[in-house]
Chains A and B, each alone.
Chain A
Amino acid sequence: MLKAYMILSIILFSIGVIGLISRRNIIVIYMSIELLLNAVNLSLIAISGDIGNASGHVMSLMIIAIAASEAALFMSLFVVLFRKKGSLDANIFDILGNKDD
């Protein structure tokens, strides 16, 4: 069961990574990141259940908190970016980089 959980979490993690790279919409990208964290949580809970110790639970609790703080920053990011360009397309934010050289 534990391995199944872990495999599932790897699959979810991979899906998250795919979404993060393939999508141009920053909101979807953000949700992909959240999916990554969730995938990790899933395994942590399973491991915790397996060894009968709540440490994993606590860890995933922390990770949820971290996710929340990331969420806060991302929210402000959306606002800032949208204010600047009126769009949340990841591709249009590329004035930095080496093209001008």
Chain B
Amino acid sequence: MTNTFIALAVPALLLLSAIFILLFGFSSYYSKNRGYYITLVTLFITFCISVNGVGDIHSAEVFPHIFNAMVVYDTFSATFISLFLLGGFLSLAIAKSFIDKTNFFVPESFVLFLFSLFGMVVLTMANELLTAFIALEIASMAVYVLVGLNRESLKASEAFFKYLLLGSFSASFYLLGMMLIYAQVKSTNLNVIAEYILNNDLNSQLLIVAGSMLIMITIMFKIAAVPFGAWVLDVYEGASLPITAYMAAVFKISVFAFIIRMFLTNNDFVQLVFDPLIILGAVITMIGGSLLAVIQSSVKKMLAASSVVHSGYMMIALASIEDIDSSASSAIIFYLFSYFISAIGAFGVLSYISKGTDKLISFDDLNGLGKNSPIIAVSLTIFMLSLAGFPSTIGFIGKFYIFTSAIESGYTPLALFGAITAFISIYYYFKVIVHLYFKESTDVKVQYGYKVSLAFIMISAFIVLWGGVGTSLIFNIPGINALNELSKYAIQSLVF
């Protein structure tokens, strides 16, 4: 399978499948189950295809003459595409029970789901600002709608409103920034911009700096960094659980994928101008997120707030990126993966036990779960431990990389600060465990009806553990080392 083929086949399949479901949705043969499985199968197939692009270093512009070098397919994008598809697949698979119990997953919801994945795929490959923006908008708009999918719910509509309004607002900053860069460079291609930066002094880069600043603000909005991420709690609360999981885990990664590409291709002024800002942002984000997380009484909102903290950790790694060889760049990919799998699991468990209601899962709702549904409880515990960065989970290895890279770049206080935030996070993550096991239940029993969801929750939990301790010495299954190498390849392909 040639790389060009993969680069074309994956988005094309997603698109085709989306349009197929859209049309199929009108026919009387359509049923929610069928739509669901078509989507699932599509994601599986595309994942299988895209995974072929991972593992060795390659990089090529896709049809440079036709597409005018606007998209690049390299190991970096292949890795991320595989991640999104896996994430989409897992979040959908775990959501099976939720989807079955609700009535607002109309055919269009699967269509939009696939479209959003399509947008992310293109976003990762995009090597040009406007293309990236449109791809981002495709993904965002699909997600906007998915957030407001439950039209019965006032909360969902309100979340849709806030997300759409603020999203459009932030998008206009991107455009303004792009305009400024275009005014300076006369091009929006990332490679050309990089070259321009290399060849000119700071005097001729003023607008690029300003423009990058504006683009950064959009990105910060998307990853919900304080103070741009005020929406995140409301929107996560309003959206239905599978969508929240999808947003928190997958969508955030796609934004990071783009920002890493931007950072590593336009590296010079990033360090100069943005490192202090990102450090400041990381600190504020971690403080803000943990402040919000400690006071929440609902698990979902706590997870939402904690996802802000995790953005903070990723920003530590962003600040620590010095060049392609620094471990920070692969650290961030590993961390993204670790957060992604843990968050999908955590939200997935919530959606599994929420029985399709849009009721907030409060901490008290978890009481006695450890006794009544031990498997679910253990899985949730594992995800919580991973999010908290407890050793022997993948979350710990992720944090380990992040902190190491920060120290390596000379930001030891920042790593210390991250550790302190991680320490605070113990409180709210372990609170979940306390409620799971130590509180008397009012006898709510979860039905083990949907084996598919359960199976995938357990698989995620296993990945979390394996990612924390796995070595290829035992069973010859790739462990941490392999993941590490993959992220290294991905990064190295950016300068290939």
Contacts and interface: CB of A to CB of B under 8 A. Distances in A.
Q: Is the interface of A mostly helix, strand, loop or mixed?
A: helix
23 contacts: A6-B183, A9-B179, A26-B161, A33-B168, A33-B172, A36-B172, A40-B176, A40-B179, A43-B179, A44-B182, A47-B186, A59-B188, A66-B137, A66-B171, A70-B168, A73-B144, A74-B164, A77-B161, A84-B157, A85-B154, A93-B161, A95-B154, A98-B233
A84 B130 contact: no
Contacts of B130: 59, 62
B155 interface: yes
Contacts of B431: none
Interface string A14-33: 00110010000010010001
Contacts of A4: none
Contact of B297 (A6, A39, A40, A101): A101
B159 interface: yes
Interface string B127-146: 00010011001000100110
B162 A96 contact: yes
B110 interface: no
Nearest to A63: B175
A51 B186 contact: yes
Contacts of B160: 77, 80
A56 B238 CA distance: 38
Given A33-B168, A96-B162, A101 B296 contact: yes
Closest 8 CB pairs of A and B: A96-B234, A36-B172, A40-B175, A93-B158, A43-B179, A47-B183, A33-B168, A80-B157
Given A69-B141, A96-B234, A43 B161 contact: no
Given A40-B179, A77-B161, A80-B148, 7 more contacts: A16-B172, A43-B183, A69-B137, A73-B141, A73-B164, A95-B154, A98-B295
B190 to A, nearest CB: 15
A36 B178 CA distance: 13
B169 A20 contact: yes
B68 to A, nearest CB: 10
Interface string B246-265: 00000000000000000000
A62 B168 contact: no
Interface in B151-202: 151, 154-155, 157-162, 164-165, 168-169, 171-172, 175-176, 178-179, 182-183, 186, 188
B237 interface: yes
Contacts of A37: 172, 175
B151 A96 contact: no
Q: Please classify how large the interface on chain A is, using the bins under 10, 10 to 19, 20 to 34, 35 or more.
A: 35 or more
- Name, among A51, A59, A96, A97, the residue most crowded by chain B CB atoms within 10 Å (CB to CB): A96
A81 interface: yes
A43 B296 CA distance: 45
Nearest to A47: B183
A25 to B, nearest CB: 12
Contacts of A53: 186
A40 B179 CA distance: 7
B238 A96 contact: yes
A16 B327 CA distance: 42
B144 A95 contact: no
Interface string B439-470: 00000000000000000000000000000000
Contacts of A16: 172
A74 B171 CA distance: 15
A26 B172 CA distance: 17
Interface in A64-101: 66, 69-70, 73-74, 77, 80-81, 84-85, 90, 93-98, 101
Contacts of A96: 155, 158-159, 162, 233-235, 237-238
Contacts of B137: 66, 69
Contact of A66 (B134, B183, B188): B134
Contact of A47 (B169, B179, B295, B297): B179
A13 to B, nearest CB: 6
B295 to A, nearest CB: 6
Contact of A77 (B164, B171, B296): B164
A93 B175 contact: no
A26 B179 CA distance: 27
A29 B167 CA distance: 13
A63 B129 CA distance: 13
B176 A13 contact: yes
Nearest to A97: B234
Contacts of B172: 13, 16, 33, 36-37, 40
Interface string B289-305: 00010011100000000
Nearest to A59: B130
Nearest to B153: A84
B138 to A, nearest CB: 9
B179 to A, nearest CB: 5
Given A70-B168, A84-B157, A44 B179 contact: yes
Nearest to A53: B186
A43 B210 CA distance: 15
B136 to A, nearest CB: 11
Contacts of B168: 33, 70, 74
Contacts of A93: 158, 161-162
B112 to A, nearest CB: 12
Contacts of A84: 154, 157
